[in-house]
Structure 1
């Protein structure tokens, strides 16, 4: 039962990560390409807002990419030491997971504070498109929560695999 719940959460996160990243990067790519084509083929037509779109997509994809990196176990961590001293693999993995959980909690807390602050500031809007900035700050606590949950899923998966490998249940 619990395994089914974890699997459905994992699938939901996978869907959100993959499609949001795909759509965001596609929008940035198409916007940048259209701007370059317009600048090179015409003398005075340019998408003045394309740089802002690309910057916001980089911001978004960096944070949502962190969640995807946890899934694929691609976050930065100490991996040379466990190769030299295999006995350190479990403690260093645990330290890595705890550090990510701590970071995620900080992102939730500070991200929520910054989002509320931007929401209360009626003048906090992007320079060219005039989109309220709080939309972009809201990515921080969402990403923090997703990182926290995703890390818990990885911990449970690692713990389950250790028990399966030893024959325990």
Structure 2
């Protein structure tokens, strides 16, 4: 039952991660390329907002990329010490997971507070695109929730020895 629930959560998160990262990076790439082409081929036209789009995509992809890093077990962690002293592998892995859970909980709480604060400020808009800032801050609690559940799934896999829940990364 728990394994089936984790598999369902994993599929939904994987879909959100892959497609949102793909779409945003494509938008940034096309925008940046169009701006470069316009600047080099004409002297009158430029996309003044392209730099902001690229910055916001980097912001988004950094946070959602953290969630993807947990799935592939490539999030930054203590790695050299367990190789030298193998008996420390399990305690340090547990410490790493607990640190990510604490971090993700902070991101949920603080990100929600910041999103709410930006939502209540009707003048909080991005500089050139005039997009409400709360939409960008909403990535923080979303990322926190996704990191929390991904970490729980990873801990379950570590404790049970099952690696087929998320595809055996």
Same fold per TM (> 0.5)?
A: yes
Name the count of aligned residue pairs. Answer: 162
Give 1:39's aligned residue.
Answer: 39
Task: Identify the residue that residue 54 of structure 1 maps to in structure 2.
Answer: 54
Q: Which protein has greater RCO, CA pairs closer than 8 Å, 6+ apart?
A: 2
Q: Give the C-alpha shift of residue 127 in structure 1.
A: 0.5
| Residue equivalent to 1:167 | none
TM-score with structure 1 setting the length: 0.94
Structure 1 partner of 2:125: 125
Answer yes or no: is 1:95 the counterpart of 2:77.
no
Query: Cα deviations across residues 110-159 of structure 1 (Å, max 9, x unaligned)?
Result: 00000000000010000111000000000000000000000000001111
Unaligned runs of 5+ in 2: 163-169
Is 2:5 the partner of 1:25?
Answer: no
- What's the Cα RMSD here? 0.8
Q: Please give the alpha-carbon distance, in whole angstroms, between the structure 2 residues aligned to 1:6 and 1:78.
A: 26
Task: Note the alpha carbon deviations across 1:19-38, whole angstroms, 9 max, x for none.
Answer: 10000000000000000000
Could you say which residue in structure 2 is the equivalent of 1:74? 74
Partner of 2:113: 113
Gaps of 5+ in 1: 163-169
Question: Normalising by the residue count of structure 2, what TM-score does the alignment of the two structures yield?
Answer: 0.94
